[in-house]
Amino acid sequence: MGYKYLKINCVVINGFNEDEILDFVEFTKNKNIYVRFIEYMPFDGNAWRESKLITYKDMLERIQTKYSMIKISDSLNDTSKAYQVPGYIGKIGFISSMTNHFCGSCNRLRLTADGNLKVCLFSNNEINLREMIRKEISDDEIFRLIGTAVKGKKFSHDGMHNLVNTKNRPMITIGG
Under 8 Å between Cβ of 91 and 83:
yes
d(CA 115, CA 28): 35
Average pLDDT on 80-98 reads 96
Q: What is the pLDDT of residues 101-127, one digit of tens each?
A: 877 788 889 899 899 999 888 788 899
Q: What is the pLDDT of residues 95-105, one digit of tens each?
A: 998 898 877 78
